[in-house]
Structure formats: C-alpha cells, structure tokens
Amino acid sequence: MPTSTNATEIANAVAALRAGAVIGLPTETVYGLAADAMNPAAVARIFALKGRPVDHPLIVHIADIDVLPRFARAIPDAARQLAAAFWPGPLTLILRRQANVPDAVTGGQDTVGLRAPAHPLAQQLLHAFDGGLAAPSANRFGRISATRAEHVREEFGEQVPLVLDGGPCTVGIESSIVDLSAALPRILRPGAISRAQIEAIIGPVAVGVDGDSPRASGTLAAHYAPHTPLRLLPRAAIHATDNVQVLALGSLPAACNGIALPANPDAYAHGLYAALRRLDARGSALIVVEQTPDTPTWQAINDRLHRSAAGAGAGD
C-alpha cells in the first residue's frame, strides 16, 4: 500500500527538484525519475543514473494543456483535440519545441514529447512545482520499468533518496506516443490509448517509426528487458522444465513454475512489469512468456514483450 503523502512531502519534493535533484515520481503508467526539465544539469543526472544514451530524448510531464505553450510552438489543432480528449492520461504528444527547451531533454532534436499524467500525486506535484518535469521510467536503461515505489528503491537505493509512493501504477505500461510534428500524425509507440481512440478524435494516423520520425522513448528494438534470457512461445510449446520460469496467460500450464496474469489486456498490462521483475529475481536460466493474442487490444503488450525478448539476458 502507498504511504500517505501530505503537503510537507510535496513541498520537500518541490524543494528537491528546484535544487536540481532527481526524485522518484509515480504516474498511472510507470514510475519515473523526475527532474526539472529546464535545468540541464538536473537532466544530466537522470541520464547518469539510468545509463541512458544522451541522444535519447526524454518526455516532459506537465500539469495540463495550459502549460503546452511553455514547451511547444506551432501547436496544431490535433494536439489540442487529443489533449482535450485524453489528458490527463497515458498519451504523449511530440511537437515542435520552444527554443529555450534544453537540448539535454530533446536529444538535440527540434521536437519535444509532452504528457499530462493522470496520477493524483503527479498532478499535485506538477501544480506545486509549476513547471515541466523530465521523467523517463525509473529503471536502468533498457531494463524492466518500475511500477511500484519499491522497484525504484531496489533499483537505485540511496542514489534516489526521495521517492513519492503512489502505490502500484494503474495502467502499468508506458504511454502511447503520437508524433504531431509532421503533416501526417503518426503513432510511434502503442499504449493504453489505442489507434482507434486516436483516430476517432483526429482522423487517420500512420503507425510505426519511419525514416523521418523523431527519436522517441521506448522505440528501440531492445527494451523493457530482464537480466534473464526470455523467450515467447505459444502455450502448446510450453512444458514444465527445470530452472525455467513461465509467465502464463490466465493459468499456468501443468507442473510449470511461474506466474499467471489475467487473460484481459488491461489487467495483464497492470501486472506485467511487476511479474517480470519477480521472475527475473528468481535466478532461473530462462523465462518463457506465453504469447498473447495478436489483436489490436493486445498491441501495446505485444510491443513490450517483443522488445523485452530482444534485450533479455544482454550484459549491463
């Protein structure tokens, strides 16, 4: 259960951010490592903590649509329409940046990713801070995202002494990312806000990164990965094997060791990263993940699982 967070804790977090510190921040998607987006030295601390390549841009978290013009210019109608429909919520918009947004945040690009998170603690903090917080997922680069405060503490310890505990993340996977910096809107990363929901607001969109797309969080081939090698297999190919942990859909196959997640995409997403962290900690030789349905409602989960398999077992 989350610890109670009172006005004093929020004030302490604001003071730490204004002093250039990095804190652990709950959102509805995953926990983030948050720092003042307009302080390049503070942003550099995020990159150092994560071991993140400096050309890999960060998403800036803001309180609401009214803050957009501080960070973005030439804001298209589609951005305002999507923000009105889905903010606060798990949707990131990539827009042309204002000139004063640091290169450290954008990876040197002319675009910036912006999102208004729905978590009440994040909202409380953002309104008190009155600015933008660069906040990538609170894990070492390429590894499994954190969805509980204890995940952040386990990963970073005293390197991140202030972690706001907002309980388990309700969504559990990262935001959908829509690039609105070009003529045709494009979904660069699937998430809880589906293509159908986005197209219902702004009309047809392209899907997937192309050669002209800006770099964006979570779009590398290998990401969200455990230290333990991981394979995706259909249920019929999964059998009880020594020193193998299974992440199953609905129920564990006979005699297998592991964890079963619900056969519902929202509930599965909510538990996915915590389950992968638990299985990774068991020190087995292999994690086998039962393949999930190849349908639109499972698209974001399949995206995370395939990237996780691509990066699993790689050296730090």
* DSSP for 80-117, written as a single string: HHHHHHH-SSSEEEEEEBPTTS-HHHHTT-SEEEEE--
pTM (predicted TM-score): 0.94
Q: How far apart are CA 153 and CA 183, in angstroms?
A: 42
Amino acid at 168: P
Question: Which comes out higher in pLDDT, residue 271 or 224?
Answer: 271
**Better-predicted residue by pLDDT, 11 or 214:** 11
* pLDDT tens per residue across span 184-224: 999 999 999 999 999 999 999 999 888 888 888 877 778 88
Domain 7-172, CATH class in plain words: alpha beta
The predicted pLDDT at position 39 comes to 98
| pLDDT the model gives residue 22 | 98
pLDDT confidence tier of residue 5, bands split at 50, 70 and 90: low
Give the whole-number percent of the chain exceeding pLDDT 70. 97
Query: Average model confidence (pLDDT) for the chain?
Result: 94
Q: Letter for the amino acid at 214? A: P
Q: What is the pLDDT of residue 315?
A: 52
- Name the burial class of residue 198, with classes exposed (0-12), middle (13-18) and buried (19+) by CB atoms within 10 angstroms of its CB: buried
* Cβ-contact 88, 125 below 8 angstroms: no
Q: Residue 72: is its pLDDT beyond 70?
A: yes
* Chain center to CA of 297: 18
Q: How far, in Å, CA of 242 to CA of 257, rounded?
A: 9
Indicate whether 2 pLDDT > 50.
no
pLDDT reported for residue 311: 85
User: Mean pLDDT throughout 161-165?
Assistant: 97
pLDDT at 158: 96
Separation CA 50–CA 67 (nearest Å): 27
Q: What does 260-276 look like in DSSP terms, one character per residue? A: EE-SSHHHHHHHHHHHH
Range name among 50-54, 117-121, 310-314 with the lowest pLDDT average: 310-314
Extents of the domains making up the chain: 7-172, 230-311
3-state secondary structure of 285: coil
Write down the pLDDT at residue 312: 83
What average pLDDT does range 88-115 have in this prediction? Answer: 97
- Residue 3's pLDDT is what? 44
The closest alpha carbon to 90, from 98, 102, 82, belongs to: 82
Strand 186-189 relative to strand 176-179: parallel, antiparallel, unpaired?
antiparallel
Task: Specify whether the CB–CB gap between 42 and 76 falls below 8 A.
Answer: no
Q: What is the structure's pLDDT at 219? A: 78
* Residue type for position 301: I
